[in-house]
Structure 1
Amino acid sequence: MSTDATPALTDASFDDLGLAAGVLEAVKELGYETPSAIQAATIPLLLEGRDVVGLAQTGTGKTAAFALPILSNLDVYDAAKPQALVLAPTRELALQVCEAFERYAAHLPGVRILPVYGGQGYGPQLTALRRGVHVVVGTPGRIMDHLEKGTLDLSQLRFLVLDEADEMLNMGFAEDVETILADTPEEKQVALFSATMPAQIRRLSKKYLRDPEEIQVKGKTQTAANITQRYLMVSYPQKVDALTRILEVENFEGMIVFVRTKNETETLAEKLRARGFSAAAINGDVPQNVRERTVNQLKDASLDILVATDVAARGLDVERISHVVNYDIPTDTEAYVHRIGRTGRAGRTGDAISFVTPRERYLLRAIEKATRSTLQQMHLPSVDEVNATRLSRFDDGITAALAETERVEFFRDVVRHYVEEYDVPEVDVAAALAVVLQGEEPLLLEPEPERPVREDRPRRDRDGRDRGTDGRGERRSRDTGQPMATYKISVGRRHKVEPRQIVGAIANEGGLRRADFGNISIRPDFSLVELPADLAPETWAALESTRISGKLIELRRDQGAPGRRSGGPRRDGGFDRGDRDDRPRKPRHKGPRD
């Protein structure tokens, strides 16, 4: 049976859904008011024990749709063996789901939730499993490892969730997922969530779910047309300086800067104050009277910048807010819409700027898809732009001071006396007064030093032409247009490695997407993989401990040594006869390891 989760379903409140008292208390503390369409349609079915297939995009609130009913039905006094298992395609999603479970279980004493993913040592996971957990949230590869080692017992499993099932299968986890499903009890409740319903997902649903109810959520998340939406590509360490430059150049009245954590609100507000901006923080720990005083200061213009978390900003309505900055881009598209809706109030125009790190490109695309809007890329304000703004502000300050005729007349006499007494030109006295006023902080930024540009030599086809370039010798992804480079990993054919394992392991550990991969050429003792040329430092760090078939991949940039042409990628994107990995064949082991 199929149900269309229309907006009318969201007229219900969380009180009407039948959640356990402790879970409902946590939901209200988090500031949730009405359930989203997927939550209103799914939660009652799962509480009744029905299997569910939810067709919903990322950011529709589906984590709460399955976490809240699972927690409501848990036996909190039995943690000997896991009662619930959530499978997620990436460790980032696994951690997000785990954190959500912990927030919703805040008033369920003793409930233990364990994240299980690659890149983390086995020790803490084994200790937690021996102590007992109620809910396990993990990636298929690491769950498979524990099942093979006998360290994870699913014999008492009551609830199983496949989150973003289509992405899991796209990453090559199909065999692992089926193996895990086959290793669970026959009598269990299953919820499958997917953005699309390809044939493989349909077959999985028919095989492992019992008479499931299909819930489909049509994208209806939209942003106001009077809000200009932009984004800035920036690395995490550059965020504070980038925000500082934007604050100097943008003409704003009031601003809310959104961050993910309570601690970050205080830290960022303090850094902004140190740079001369009027900023304050609000978060869930700020007392109500302090919150009200801070919001009133924002309204009456005695405060310009509010640094806040999503929960703290709920219900905030201040017409003076002209700009919203997503210092940390939200992982939930509904949260994005809620955030930028704080500006452009009462028919006024507004600006929304989102900081996006290289690893968060997928969140940007999810927001654009869900909101059916295109965010315009902006560039970091240059030194010249910042200096021009500072000089203009300096001029405005002089103009405003000259309007105060009585005070100017007094200081004119003071300056005239100094000029006559010390025989100094008036312009020099004015310059000296500016120095006194400015203090040690320089008025203008220093020009940025030029950075040498490293030129990578593009690979060439056998006819001498550059392969996969943009006409300037720079190879670019066909899917994303981003610059690509070739990397070498220390696993090859003799390790029985296949392309899907490479994609699954590197994507999962490094936070990359399927579209970030180019050609893959598997050689006897190593493999060559095309990946983005600007891999972030955190991606390099994450991939240092990545293994495929039990062997460290030892990722490094390929230097294009001689003698590697045999079996390399062809111009048409396939492989030469020296490498037969483009031919379909039966997998030789359980799949990608995370």
Structure 2
Amino acid sequence: MINENNSHSIQGFDCLGLDKLLLQALDKSGYTTPTPIQSELIPHLLAGCDVIGQAQTGTGKTAAFALPLLNNLILGKKAKAQVLVLAPTRELAIQVSQSFEKYGKALPGLKVVPLYGGQEYSSQLRHLKNGVHVIVGTPGRVMDHIRRGSLVLSTITSFVLDEADEMLKMGFLEDVEWILEQLPVEKNIALFSATMPGSIRRIAKTHLHNPVEITARKNTVSAPRIRQQYVITNGQRAKNIAIERILEAEQFDGMLIFVRTKVNTVELAERLASLGYSCGPLNGDIPQNQRLRMVDQLKSGKLDIVIATDVAARGLDVERISHVINYDVPFDSEAYTHRIGRTGRAGRSGNAILFLHPREKRMLPSMERETGGKISQMTLPTISDINARRIESFKDSLTASLKGDCSFFNELIEKYCLDTDIPPHQVAAALAKMMHEKTPLLLQEQPDPKPSKVSIKQGKEGSTRKKEIRRNPKDTQPESGMERYRIELGETHGVKPGNIVGAIANEADIDSRHIGRISIFDNYSTVDLPYGMPLDILRVLQKTRIFDKTMHIHKETITLPDQDQGENRNKKKKPKKTSATGKRNKGGTFHRSPQKSMAG
């Protein structure tokens, strides 16, 4: 492999050897200076080399492969598939396909199609039949089209594997390798991944020929553009007070609020809508066409606030998002960086606000290291501050209204005052009161919520009080912020880690990186999930099926007297370990390395 040291610097896109039509599109989009990974990779892809880009979101990697691949396209009368891009999620597939269309807008007859689950086959089949140049898809749907014969790969000259490590986490690696085996021998490959685990390295060694390897510098340039703040919120009521005061006090254009579960998106959207805000939920249960429509409404200004889960918001790119609020704390600093990266885009400034429980303050240093920026404590506006703002806003509304034609109402009020002998200022006051009968202009002072106390009832002296302890593989405890659950399906049922990750990620809308340790036994399995799983989500998972068999998931607990049970625990049969890559060791069990959790 060739390692590039990012030593040289290029001033503009016009120095990279790109076609004039592409440069025109970039200029119209406001892009003038390439990022480091674009400067390094574009010349190699233009030359037809295989490349490996170790890059995180926000480094400009999409343009790094889209621009040179568009440049190398052969645009004839009959479009033929020449570029295939694999993405782990449908949101990212849509975003990448839109980027190809934007950069190639000036190319005559360019045809790009995204292929992903949740969309009807008829539209995709029609596009493929009519001919396309660039295909961007998720592994499952791409495999379906290959097997149907609707996607022919014989003309593919370039293949891109985007976010390969995410493919690994979601259990798609076998699918990716199958697709790679169907491609022509003569092709160039671009592989992108934020991290490079052994299995990704193995794919690169097997399928890439003498690749150029470039590691993008850690992207901390967004920190100066994004003001990062945190608010201490001890309990649900404190969160609700905080979000309402922030919405009152902050001047925002578009806002994205991150919550943990699908149910939370709906509940918070309903709450904010009742307060008069234009908002909507975005989660994995919402049909794809409705999700796309909601994103378009956010872009156009018909919606101002979207409440989303991590999974649903992955790949979301809306320039007018001025604020990102982490209503529920992310599970790790990488997820935090991805979330706040939804604002401060296209050179704009942005604001990121994080709600933290007091015990979660320890997460701040790692988040600051990840983003390269300081996260300062935010002082919430008081009731008096908000009331003062409301009064000023009311005055501004009066001033704006007086600039219009008020002649009809002026005559009406004058006549009313003459008939009733009531002074005009009293009539104006009565009208203002009428306006705010349902929604008072001023808020009432209320005490801030006090920290909740936790009380533990002690049993009577000499009692055999019982306590709950968790049974864990290898006598280990789950990571901080995680709980262990048992699934009544195991190796005898043919269950693999990817099946468990996929089922939970799809049904609970939990990002796969937040699914922790997995151990597979003969007749059952265990998995570590984020602490405090809502009951309604658990009920959904209990009915979720793998290979047409119900998971019957439940929290793994046993009840023992409050006494030393060490001897019994030592006799417990332990699962045999395997490597973190998912390959079974001699015992036949699987052990998935726990993901780091930040959830206190």
1:389 to 381, 385, 405: 385
| Pair 1:467-2:465 in alignment | no
2:494 to 492, 496, 504: 496
Match of 2:58 in 1: 59
Match of 1:371 in 2: 371
Match of 1:19 in 2: 18
Q: Deviations over 1:6-51 (max 9, x none)?
A: 5x52422x22222233333322222212111111111121112111
Is this contact kept in 1: 2:545–2:551, CA < 8 A? no
Amino acid at match of 1:467: R
Residue 171 and residue 182 in structure 1: after superposition, are their counterparts in 2 closer, same or farther (change >3 A)? same
| Pair 1:515-2:544 in alignment | no
| Pair 1:4-2:5 in alignment | yes
Residue 547 and residue 51 in structure 1: after superposition, are their counterparts in 2 closer, same or farther (change >3 A)? farther
1:246, 1:311 → 2: CA distance?
Answer: 21
Correspondence list, 1:133-532, <5 A: 133-222=132-221, 228-230=227-229, 245-249=245-249, 257=254, 325-326=323-324, 336=343, 342=349, 352-354=351-353, 371-373=371-373, 375=375, 387-391=383-387, 435=433, 440-445=438-443, 465-467=468-470, 478=479, 481-482=480-481, 484=483, 486=485, 493=491, 495-504=493-502, 506-507=504-505, 512-520=510-518, 529-532=527-530
Is this contact kept in 2: 1:79–1:134, CA < 8 A? no
SS at match of 2:201: helix
Q: CA deviation at 1:138?
A: 2.2
Q: CA deviation at 1:62?
A: 0.1
Is this contact kept in 1: 2:489–2:551, CA < 8 A? no
Q: CA deviation at 1:529?
A: 4.5
1:247, 1:545 → 2: CA distance?
Answer: 38
Is this contact kept in 1: 2:52–2:212, CA < 8 A? yes
1:578, 1:355 → 2: CA distance?
Answer: 40
SS at match of 1:11: coil
Amino acid at match of 2:248: E
Is this contact kept in 2: 1:91–1:508, CA < 8 A? no
Is this contact kept in 1: 2:153–2:182, CA < 8 A? yes
2:92, 2:497 → 1: CA distance?
Answer: 23
Residue 491 and residue 519 in structure 1: after superposition, are their counterparts in 2 closer, same or farther (change >3 A)? same
Unaligned ranges ≥5, structure 1: 261-270, 277-281, 287-308, 314-323, 344-351, 357-363, 399-421, 423-427, 456-462, 470-474, 564-569, 589-594
Q: Matched residues, percent identical?
A: 39
Q: Deviations over 1:75-107 (max 9, x none)?
A: 233666521111223333223222222322323
Q: CA deviation at 1:246?
A: 1.0
Unaligned ranges ≥5, structure 2: 234-238, 258-272, 279-296, 302-316, 327-335, 356-363, 395-420, 455-465, 560-565, 589-600
Match of 2:29 in 1: 30
2:115, 2:300 → 1: CA distance?
Answer: 30
Amino acid at match of 1:154: L
Q: Superposition RMSD on alpha carbons, in Å?
A: 5.8
Residue 516 and residue 495 in structure 1: after superposition, are their counterparts in 2 closer, same or farther (change >3 A)? same
Is this contact kept in 1: 2:486–2:556, CA < 8 A? no
Q: Deviations over 1:208-252 (max 9, x none)?
A: 222222222222523567975126899xxxx999766314346xx
Amino acid at match of 2:205: K
2:555, 2:28 → 1: CA distance?
Answer: 55
Is this contact kept in 1: 2:254–2:320, CA < 8 A? no
SS at match of 1:4: coil
SS at match of 1:229: strand
Correspondence list, 1:57-136, <5 A: 57-77=56-76, 81-136=80-135
Amino acid at match of 1:371: T
Q: CA deviation at 1:497?
A: 1.8
Amino acid at match of 2:112: I
1:32, 1:59 → 2: CA distance?
Answer: 14
Is this contact kept in 1: 2:484–2:556, CA < 8 A? no
1:538, 1:77 → 2: CA distance?
Answer: 54
2:225, 2:143 → 1: CA distance?
Answer: 49
Q: Deviations over 1:542-592 (max 9, x none)?
A: 9999875xx4576786488999xxxxxx9xx9x98698896954999xxxx
Q: CA deviation at 1:368?
A: 5.6
Q: CA deviation at 1:482?
A: 4.1
Q: Deviations over 1:341-393 (max 9, x none)?
A: 637xxxxxxxx23489xxxxxxx9998665323646879x6xxx664434555
Is this contact kept in 1: 2:6–2:40, CA < 8 A? yes
1:121, 1:330 → 2: CA distance?
Answer: 33
1:397, 1:206 → 2: CA distance?
Answer: 63
Q: CA deviation at 1:121?
A: 4.6
Residue 101 and residue 512 in structure 1: after superposition, are their counterparts in 2 closer, same or farther (change >3 A)? farther
Amino acid at match of 1:202: R
Q: Deviations over 1:410-438 (max 9, x none)?
A: xxxxxxxxxxxx9xxxxx99998984785
Residue 150 and residue 240 in structure 1: after superposition, are their counterparts in 2 closer, same or farther (change >3 A)? farther
Match of 1:305 in 2: none
Q: Deviations over 1:525-549 (max 9, x none)?
A: 886654346779999999999875x
Q: Deviations over 1:311-342 (max 9, x none)?
A: 679xxxxxxxxxx5237999697775557963
Give the total of aligned pairs.
Answer: 464
SS at match of 1:157: coil
Q: CA deviation at 1:66?
A: 0.5
Amino acid at match of 1:372: G
1:523, 1:392 → 2: CA distance?
Answer: 63
SS at match of 1:35: coil
Is this contact kept in 2: 1:81–1:132, CA < 8 A? yes
Q: CA deviation at 1:513?
A: 3.1
Is this contact kept in 1: 2:22–2:106, CA < 8 A? yes
1:210, 1:154 → 2: CA distance?
Answer: 19
2:225, 2:60 → 1: CA distance?
Answer: 25
1:29, 1:544 → 2: CA distance?
Answer: 51
Amino acid at match of 2:372: R
